[in-house]
């Protein structure tokens, strides 16, 4: 049986409810292990970076109003967050993805892999991530 089709209003309501559940002050972290993420991914499954400047959880202060992208998906985004290495571990680290945690920073709310892993090999290397939550077409 094909998936049911939600009306535009219901897609908008679903994402608005999701961003409310995530909270305006969610925490975002990076991870360095190359794993397959799923709905069961837990904080213990993620290896956080050790390099200074990358190991810090950052706050997602707000989520956008839901909008429809060109692919017909409804999307919400958080503000872009940037991490810059101020110290390097040996061996160098590679960032494979990010996770949104609850406000206490203890429970994974969602995880995502980067389109392309980002190697961190020297001070000043870093990345900017805009957390994006799509809701099917």
> Does the residue 29 lie in any domain?
yes
Report helix, strand or coil for 18.
Answer: helix
> Does the residue 2 lie in any domain?
no
Question: What are the tens digits of pLDDT across the range 45-54?
Answer: 999 999 999 9
Residue 1 clears pLDDT 50, i.e. is over it: no
> Does the residue 92 lie in any domain?
yes
pTM: 0.84
> Does the residue 14 lie in any domain?
no
> Does the residue 101 lie in any domain?
yes
Question: What are the tens digits of pLDDT across the range 71-99?
Answer: 888 888 888 999 999 998 888 899 999 99
Q: Are 25 and 81 in contact (CB under 8 A)?
A: no
Greater model confidence, 15 or 122: 122
> Does the residue 91 lie in any domain?
yes
Greater model confidence, 2 or 39: 39
> Does the residue 16 lie in any domain?
no
Beta-ladder partners of 133: 76
């Amino acid at each position: 049986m094909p998936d049911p089709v939600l009306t535009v209003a219901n897609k908008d309501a679903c994402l608005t409810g999701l961003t409310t559940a995530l909270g305006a002050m969610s925490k975002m972290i990076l991870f360095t292990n190359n794993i397959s993420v799923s709905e069961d991914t837990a904080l213990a499954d993620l290896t956080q970076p050790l390099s200074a400047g990358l190991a810090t959880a950052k706050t997602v202060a707000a989520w956008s109003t839901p909008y429809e992208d060109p692919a017909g998906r409804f999307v919400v985004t958080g503000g872009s967050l940037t991490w810059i290495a101020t110290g390097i571990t040996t061996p160098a680290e590679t960032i494979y993805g990010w996770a949104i945690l609850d406000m206490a920073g203890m429970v994974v709310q969602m995880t995502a892999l980067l389109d392309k892993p980002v190697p961190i090999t020297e001070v000043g290397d870093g990345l900017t991530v805009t957390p994006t939550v799509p809701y099917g077409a």
